[in-house]
Amino acid sequence: MTHAQHTPQIAILGAGLIGAAWAALFQHHGADVRVWDPNADALAATAARMKAPLEQLAQVAPDAGPRGALTLCATLADAVTGADLIQENAPESIPVKHALYAQVEPLMAPSAVLASSTSALTWSELSPGLQDPARLITAHPFNPPHLVPLVEIYGTDAARITRAEAIYRAADRVPVRLKKDATGHIANRLASALWREAVFMVQDGIADVEAIDAALVNGPGLRWSVLGAHMAYHLGGGAGGMEGYLAHLGPSQERRWAALGAPTLSTQVQAELVAGVAREAAGRDISQLEATRDKALIAALRARKDAPHV
């Protein structure tokens, strides 16, 4: 193509931790970013909140080229007007988001995409907030958004989804498309299913909280960082692959699923979870744990560049 490269124009609505992480990510990857928040103090804190993510992004993607422009916008119109992608990070409340969408929609360019970072809500719950629901997609990042590459996408307008995916890919994200609207998207459903069994093992006395976490981080978690779950069973089937696995172990797999637990978050189980993570944290506070996590994520992301996952 011979037309001049278009610099993506990104509006970030909501300057909390998620919004600031998005802003840093897009700016680092050369997009022009306009941030708006209804709270003037939150807006004023944006640059401070972006500082650590920008420093981390410089380690993950040092060759990203020049940063885009960053503008703090006093009005919603300043942020949204002319934006290709409007990433919404409002509180997880349907009325709050609907009220915001009613303001945003008349300001949007006809081709623009309104992308909600929502974790807990669905496209079906949010789209009635627009005159034209096709303008909305859900685009759920996995925390922390500037480090974990996944963005889970659902919407009904294929053209807008394709344009949004291109913008996310240009910001070094991995967009993954749902075929059907679903609470929890993909990743939080998987996380919820895994944690259910983890909590069951605590409740049932099979293993301690910190033992389960150690098993995950040094076992399946490590492997799932390079190989998907379906693909792991494909390799587990040997030369026969997934077909061989299912032929030999399919029936026993259904029995294994039936034997999994359904825990209750009773007072006692909750106390064991709280005590267990306290033992595991071993005196480290949340910010220290997050710093260790981020450093390890950055190292893992850098390792991936030379040795891509399956």
Is 175:145 a contact under the CB 8 Å cutoff? no
Strands 113-116 and 85-88: parallel
- Assess 296 for contact with a second copy (CB under 8 A): yes
In the set 40, 58, 166, 260, which binds a second copy (CB under 8 A)?
260
In the set 94, 163, 246, 248, which binds a second copy (CB under 8 A)?
246
In the bound state with a second copy, the residue whose beta carbon lies nearer, of 44 and 247, is: 247
- Assess 124 for contact with a second copy (CB under 8 A): no
Segment interacting with a second copy, rule: CB under 8 A, options 1-9, 70-78, 124-132, 246-254 = 246-254
Give the dihedral sign, CA 308/167/164/91: positive
Given phi > 0 = left and psi -120 to 50 = alpha, else beta, which region is 100?
alpha
Question: Tell me, what DSSP letter sits at residue 7?
Answer: P
In the bound state with a second copy, the residue whose beta carbon lies nearer, of 85 and 198, is: 198
- Assess 16 for contact with a second copy (CB under 8 A): no
* Degrees, nearest 5: CA angle 246-250-256: 140
Segment interacting with a second copy, rule: CB under 8 A, options 23-31, 48-56, 68-76, 287-295 = 287-295
Residues in the interface with a second copy (CB under 8 A) total: 110
In the bound state with a second copy, the residue whose beta carbon lies nearer, of 128 and 219, is: 219
The 138-157 contact track toward a second copy, x by CB under 8 A, reads: ----xx----xxx-x-----
Q: Which of residues 179-208 bind a second copy (CB under 8 A)?
A: 179-180, 182-198, 201, 204-208
Edge-to-edge strands, sheet with 113-116:
70-73, 32-36, 9-13, 85-88, 113-116, 136-141, 150-155, 174-177
C-alpha–C-alpha distance, residues 287 and 293, integer Å: 10
